Homo-oligomer: A and B are copies of this chain.
Amino acid sequence: MAIKTVIRQVNEHVGETVVIGSWLNNKRSSGKIQFLQLRDGTGYIQAVVVKSEVSEDTWNNAKSLTQESSMYVTGVIREEPRSQSGYEMTVTDLEILHLTENYPITPKEHGVDFLMDHRHLWLRSSKQRAIMVIRAQIISAIQDFFDQNGFTLVDPPILTPTSAEGTTNLFHTKYFEEDAYLTQSGQLYMEAAAMALGKVYSFGPTFRAEKSKTRRHLIEFWMIEPEMAFTDHEESLKVQEQFIAHVVQSVLANCRTELEAVGRDVSKLENIKAPFPRITYDEAIEFLNSQDFDIPWGEDFGAPHETAIAERYDKPVFITHYPAGIKAFYMKPDPNRPEVVLCADMIAPEGYGEIIGGSQRIDDPELMEARFNEHNLSMDTYQWYMDLRKYGSVPHSGFGLGLERTVAWICGLDHVRETIPFPRTLYRLYP
């Protein structure tokens, strides 16, 4: 009996007869030999069918295979240094499961809309599969980092009664008799969790109903939001740079084949190790104005500003101490200079923009109440958040990582739409 295995594990079966469920990726023939390029989702292998060594049925089955036809193929695994995977299969038997006709995605070029309409099939192509494998490795590295550093995973709610930053860009739904909105960030809930569990992190979907169409934005995207009790801004920056370095090094260690499949220049990633450079908002403004930009103090940076700053470094760069006026209400003012806050954005290299935003949070109950009033936050809705300052308030910090931008940067992709299995963009809810 042949052993059932998968392509990734053929190295454990050299000299043995195995059976592999697979799809035809491509084939070529030289009259008496057919070379089948097979894929099974775990990898790629060449299966060789020699006319003189197989039954007529097996030979004809192989001949009838079209792109994306599915089969159980039986054969002997051999080491083959000339092949990319290092192994080949000599076929002894071939059972066709399904002959595919007119597979829509062919080796020729297709337009983006066509590929997005066929996302459920496009995922089978080698580059898209590689991106999904790297995405999964990034997620796994994220979980490892936080699990190994004493964080507890906490899932904040997706359906929320409102948002402290306004409901204009939120998706609305009727929650029985009440109004509910899809979360844009779980941070406030993570602050509550940090007071119960010390160090926590979330991993989940977030939503922004924004009518913007850029290569950096998705409507539905995944965020990682760590929050740490008894942790100040400075300690938080150290966690952030170690975290990102761990993720990048873990992809380099585990996804060489996939990085090659997406055409990534890995030399750009090898250098991503802590510490990361830091500049203040003030220094950034000064630099920008020394270049072609004309940006007054107090204005937020856009993508061109971020790119100009990032270009000076071959690692992610922290921009710290933004003016309070352009940052969120909960950020703690710098005690030495209250017009700026203890915050940082981490800007990825190579023009990939902001991947992390974080800050120390206000812990003083009176200042928080003042901020509530300035921002017209309803005490009814946010009493629970105010309670975190009323009962045992402590210094704490946290940050949010955008998963898809991180995947785009690590894979070196032009557009975030390829970083998620089924992207939701302004005009795309299908498939």
Contact = CB atoms under 8 A, between A and B. Distances in A.
A153 B129 contact: no
Contacts of A426: 176
A301 interface: no
Main secondary structure on A side of the interface with B:
mixed
A195 B219 CA distance: 26
Q: How many copies does the complex hold?
A: 2
A204 B421 CA distance: 14
A139 B155 CA distance: 11
Given A128-B196, A129-B196, A159 B41 contact: no
Given A41-B229, A189-B422, A391 B103 contact: yes
A182 B174 CA distance: 12
A403 to B, nearest CB: 9
A222 to B, nearest CB: 6
B124 A140 contact: no
Given A98-B394, A120-B384, A391-B121, A196 B155 contact: no
A345 to B, nearest CB: 25
Contacts of A420: 155
A308 to B, nearest CB: 32
A68 B391 contact: yes
A86 interface: no
- Counting chain B CB atoms within 10 Å of each CB, which of A41, A175, A219, A390 scores highest? A41
A373 interface: no
A141 to B, nearest CB: 11
Interface in A124-145: 124, 128-129, 132-133, 135-136, 139-140, 143
A172 interface: yes
Contact of A41 (B6, B194, B381, B388): B194
Which 8 residue pairs of A and B lie closest in terms of their CB atoms, listed nearest first?
A41-B198, A21-B230, A384-B431, A123-B196, A120-B192, A70-B392, A68-B392, A41-B197
Given A68-B392, A123-B192, 9 more contacts: A23-B195, A69-B392, A118-B387, A132-B193, A156-B422, A172-B174, A189-B431, A205-B205, A384-B430
